Chains A and B, each alone.
Chain A
Amino acid sequence: MEWETVIGLEIHTQLATRSKIFSGAATAYGAAPNTQACAVDLGLPGVLPVLNKAVVEMAIRFGLAIEAQIAPLSVFARKNYFYPDLPKGYQISQYELPIVGLGRITIELEDGHSKVIGITRAHLEEDAGKSLHEDYHGMTGIDLNRAGTPLLEIVSEPDLRSPAEAVAYMKKIHALVRYLEISDGNMQEGSFRCDANVSVRPKGSHEFGTRTELKNINSFRFVEKAIEYEVERQIEILESGGAVVQETRLFDPDKGETRPMRSKEEAMDYRYFPDPDLLPVEITPEMIEKVRAEMPELPDAKRQRFMADHGLSEYDAGILTASRELADYFEAVARVAGDAKLAANWVMGELTGYLNRENLEIDQAKVSAERLGGLLKRILDNTISGKIAKEVFEAMWAGEGDADEIIERRGLKQITDTSALEAMVDEVIAANPKQVEQFRAGKEKVLGFFVGQIMKATQGKANPAQVNQLLREKLKGN
């Protein structure tokens, strides 16, 4: 039987506010345990939450970006359960009335098609603290620095049909929240993580199969691996006549498998009810318009603009707009160099290669956009060839200065003096009579041999176009 996979993702993205969602404590990552937890975060008797306005604005920004309805009135609810890193014994979340209603986002598939994925809702909530089980010898350490960190939980419709689609969707949301500057999206630090609801059904069926929920997946690779494993597991069960059990499963990245965490029977009754300590959040059309006016350019609009203004292909524009940082970098290079296509080639080629090799993000690039632009300018004005430029780039990456300094210091300026080149061409022709014969007999490829000889003699500094032209003239003319 052929099976169809049905996936819905719940993405938790940490909002990039300076202080917590309901207290004034700082949200910075990496502080010593419990140094960023105030009385409110500790859930001391008598404390009360006060909503951080910045998170509301960020949620609106996200809602506008996915063309969603922004709720004029949304309500914070308490999700009640006991856990040592949940100080109040409840998490303040949103339940019946989330701040962002139904929206959508378009993802690009590998086959070049695009697909619209529905987003059921996005709601605000506070994060819990961390339980540290290692290093405490039979005890558990509690770090409440993260408790009260604002999260936006983005819940997709069950519209995703493959692990690859799930990854594409997760990447798209990741790029979007970074574009919107509402999250740093740092997956290592847990600022962007997801749970996946996965089920399979016979192809053509309209009913959903029994789903399992895969918890706490914190990388693009893991979301793919976890879902792949889970789909295979479910199909195996169904094909051997069994039934999938509705349960929550935990993905183990070391073993590449999912394993049961709790079953539906053990599912918690969270006893949600509106939090009486907080008033409903009212959002007026004026507030929405104010946020809309300050919205940054979104990825899809940027991609269209790159195609229209810079003459890039859809593919190139797609790659260059995958993240806001990359797009900004590219635009800066293009602006300095004055040639967008050349800039695009270098950013996607040489620069990306170096970044990948050293596993760096664009904002960690060792060559600034201004310097790369300066290098490209020297290609365009024929100071150096593209090949020499790669050498210069390597030196720039190694921190040897800007392009002009390196060209000067290493004496890499192209030889464009025609009489000097002519002499060299004459020399090479005279020294290789056999190859001259071959060329004249119609073997055009031999031209490359001559070019190579000259490049070797000039250490690549000869202007290739000029050398070509001279060789042709001389070889034919003789």
Chain B
Amino acid sequence: MHDKNLTELAAGLRAGDFSSEELTRACLERIAAHDGELNSFITVDEERALEQAQAADRRLAAGEAGPLTGIPVAQKDIFCTDGVLTTCASRMLENFVAPYSATVVEKFDAAGAVMIGKTNMDEFAMGSSNETSYYGPVRNPWNPDTVPGGSSGGSAAAVAARLVPAATGTDTGGSIRQPAALCGVTGLKPTYGRVSRWGMIAFASSLDQGGPIARSAEDAALLLGVMAGFDERDSTAIDRPVPDYTATLDDDIRGLKIGLPKEYFGEGLEAGVARAVEAALDEYRRLGAEVVEISLPHTHLAVPAYYVVAPAECSSNLSRFDGVRFGHRCENPEDLEDLYKRSRGEGFGDEVKRRIMIGTYALSAGYYDAYYLKAQKVRRLIRDDFARAFEQVDVIMGPTTPSPAFRLGEKTDDPITMYLSDIYTIAVNLAGLPGLSLPAGFVDGLPVGLQIIGNDFEEARLLNVAHQYQQVTDHHKCIPSGFE
């Protein structure tokens, strides 16, 4: 049962081959059996999951089921879930039971999906390896000595290990695509504003975007159809109809123009990854696509600009964690200053503190123009690069990451090297564009991701292009050993 895709699961539920309760119990059993090793979940809410499954079974019986009714989905622990612990993988929110649900969670609830649990992640989504989690690192199911990527590492690992059919993630600088690449699954970061941010705990508000992590583009299309849409509670959500993302999956891609940014194939890219990407491009040529070289000349500025904008916004967004109203509060504070210093000092981990400090500095009087304002200008240049590219090509392709999964602990003492693992994904967030990562082969038994970047609101095209590749390849069907 655990190796069925969403379409097959939905068909099985409707045909009565198995009930949602059986499916949910099967997932719970797999989590119980394997997650001790992977640590991909922070919370598994068995009781609530089974209740939802039973409700879904009633809906199925009544013939009121949608495509996701009765299907277990894991939520990244950054989405608020009413009555369920929502930690953001931080000691700061170790005790925080959200009193409301995120829009994304509400939408899955309304679709009849079963919320099986909350997945592990980098603390407050700050990290690229899942090692900054207060709840300990997640291990990559392809090799437990390596990281699953981050920040949505728990979701990617759980989907890759077939513990759940699908999961949600959020992506601020690559946090869906990079772990998807490292775990060999398909992850989509939608256009900024496509998915509501209401109830999604903010890291960097102008970059954060929720999206699906799934086994295939087809599954991702079904999930995005549920997640996407306007929300009047999010001023940055865009009021635009949501297409049926599954309707165009089978469209012919002959004549598709693929742009390869020459800047994505230079120094730092591991040879094995480059070869896998080349092989994927050959596949696309066989499918009738045309591949042309393009230039995104400001690519080298993306990481520096990102590490000004994202920390600046995070320094302000995380000010609400002050020990006053919710979250961690230090013991016996002497006075207000002591309350702030110790509550925040104890509640936040090192990486979060590092970014709060960088961001506070970047916004300080006298530095604002040199850092924040400059970074915003760079952001515009990067967006202009993409706009020019999309005048020539339909989609842009390249590696999702410069290397496959690295070893646990390998980069924790070297933040800059860690930051560079998002070098190909960050610019997409700065430009607000949709980007997708799909499995494109292996290097030494570790998955490699191919990134496809589209123009604004071209999620349907990305899913179509990815799906066509997955019709002629099997990388996405490979299961890590021990999890078959």
Chain A residues in 8 Å Cβ range of B86: 45
B320 at the interface (CB under 8 A from A): yes
Asked whether any CB of chain B lies closer than 8 Å to the CB of A44, the reply is: yes
Decide if A87 is an interface residue (CB 8 Å cutoff).
Answer: yes
Complex: how many Å from CA A51 to CA B319? 21
Chain B hits for A278, CB < 8 A: 235-236
Q: Which of A43, A88, A90, A277 contacts B236 (CB 8 A)?
A: A277
Q: Which residue of A lies closest to B340 (CB)?
A: A82
8 Å CB interface, B301-334 against A: 312-313, 315-316, 318-322, 324-327
CA distance A276 to B379 in the complex (A): 14
Q: Does B88 contact A (CB under 8 A)?
A: yes
Q: Which of B320, B327, B364 contacts A88 (CB 8 A)?
A: B320
Is the CB–CB distance between B364 and A271 below 8 Å? yes
A47 at the A/B interface (Cβ < 8 Å)? Answer: yes
Does A89 lie within 8 Å of B322, measured CB to CB? yes
* Known contacts A84-B324, A142-B324, A273-B368, A48 near B234 by CB under 8 Å: yes
The answer to whether A44 touches B316, judged by C-beta atoms less than 8 angstroms apart, is: no
Residues of B within 8 A of A47 (CB): 198-199
Q: Does B365 contact A (CB under 8 A)?
A: yes
Instruction: Find out whether the CB atom of B313 lies under 8 angstroms from the CB atom of A48.
Output: no
Which of chain B's residues has its CB closest to A37's CB?
B325
A45, A82, A277, A278 interface centre (most CB from chain B within 10 Å): A45
Among A42, A47, A278, A279, residue most surrounded by chain B Cβ atoms (within 10 Å): A47
Which residues does chain A contribute within 8 Å of B204, judged by CB atoms?
Answer: 276
Binds A, one of B52-60, B91-99, B137-145, B284-292: B91-99
B102 contacts chain A at the CB level, 8 A cutoff: yes
B194 an interface residue at 8 Å Cβ cutoff? no
CB of B197 within 8 Å of the partner chain: yes
Is B483 interfacial (CB 8 A cutoff)?
no
Q: A50-B233, A50-B235, A87-B320 are in contact. Are A43 and B325 (CB under 8 A)?
A: yes
What's the Cα separation between A88 and B316 when bound, in Å?
8
Q: Contact string, B113-135, partner A, CB cutoff 8 A, digits 1/0?
A: 00000000000000000000000
Q: State whether A45 touches B325 (Cβ < 8 A).
A: no
**Given the known A-B contacts A46-B200, A47-B198, A273-B363, are A279 and B316 also in contact in the complex, defined by CB atoms under 8 Å?**
no
Bound CA span A279–B336, Å: 34
CB–CB A276/B205 < 8 A:
yes
B336–A84 CB distance below 8 A = yes
The distance in angstroms between the C-alpha atoms of A272 and B234, with both chains bound, is 22
- Cβ of B201 < 8 Å from any Cβ of A? yes
Indicate if the CB atoms of A46 and B322 lie closer than 8 Å.
no
Q: How would you classify the secondary structure of chain B's contact residues: helix, strand, loop or mixed? A: loop
* CB pair A82 B322 closer than 8 Å: yes
Of A87, A272, A273, which is in contact with the most chain B CB atoms at under 10 Å from its CB? A273
CA distance in complex: A80, B364 (Å):
10
Range, interface on chain B: 35 or more
Interface size on A, residues (CB 8 A): 28
Q: B232 within 8 Å of A by Cβ? A: yes
Whether A80 contacts B235 in the complex (CB less than 8 A), given A45-B80, A87-B325, comes out as no
Complex Cα distance, B64 from A42, in Å, reads 38
For A89, list chain B residues within 8 Å (CB): 316, 318-320, 322
**B18 interface residue, CB < 8 Å from A?**
no
* Contact partners of A90 in chain B: CB under 8 A: 316, 319
Measured CB to CB, the nearest residue on chain B to A277 is: B205
CB closest residue in chain B, given A140: B336
Q: Which residue of A lies closest to B199 (CB)?
A: A46
Task: Decide yes or no whether A39 CB sits under 8 A from chain B.
Answer: yes
CB-nearest residue of chain A to B193: A279
Chain A residues near B201: list those with CB within 8 A: 45-46
Using an 8 Å CB-CB cutoff, how does the interface string of B359-379 with A read, 1 for contact, 0 for none? Answer: 010011100100010000000
Whole-angstrom distance between the Cβ of B311 and the nearest chain A Cβ: 12
Q: Answer yes or no: A269 CB below 8 A from chain B CBs.
A: yes
Kindly supply a per-residue 1/0 record for chain A positions 27-51, scoring 1 wherever the CB is within 8 Å of any chain B CB and 0 otherwise. 0000000000001001111111111
Chain A 244-276, CB-CB to B under 8 Å as 1, else 0, gives 000000000000000000000000010111001
- CB within 8 A of B325: which of A42, A272, A279? A42
Point out the residues of chain A lying under 8 angstroms from B233, CB to CB. Answer: 48, 50
How far apart are the CA atoms of A468 and B107 in the complex, in Å?
89
Report Cα–Cα, A279/B79, bound state, in Å. Answer: 23
Instruction: Determine if A273 and B325 form an interchain contact, defined as CB atoms under 8 angstroms apart.
Output: no
B43 beta carbon closer than 8 Å to chain A: no
CA distance A49 to B199 in the complex (A): 12
- Interfacial residues, chain B to chain A (CB-CB below 8 A): 79-80, 86, 88, 93, 96, 98-100, 102, 197-202, 204-206, 232-236, 312-313, 315-316, 318-322, 324-327, 336, 340, 360, 363-365, 368, 372
> What are 23 A-B contacts defined by CB distance under 8 Å?
A39-B99, A39-B100, A43-B320, A44-B320, A45-B86, A45-B88, A45-B93, A46-B197, A46-B200, A46-B201, A48-B234, A51-B235, A80-B315, A80-B319, A82-B319, A82-B340, A84-B336, A89-B316, A90-B316, A269-B365, A271-B315, A276-B204, A277-B205
Other A-B contacts than A46-B80, A89-B316, 7 sampled, CB-CB below 8 A, are A47-B199, A80-B319, A87-B324, A88-B319, A272-B368, A276-B206, A277-B236
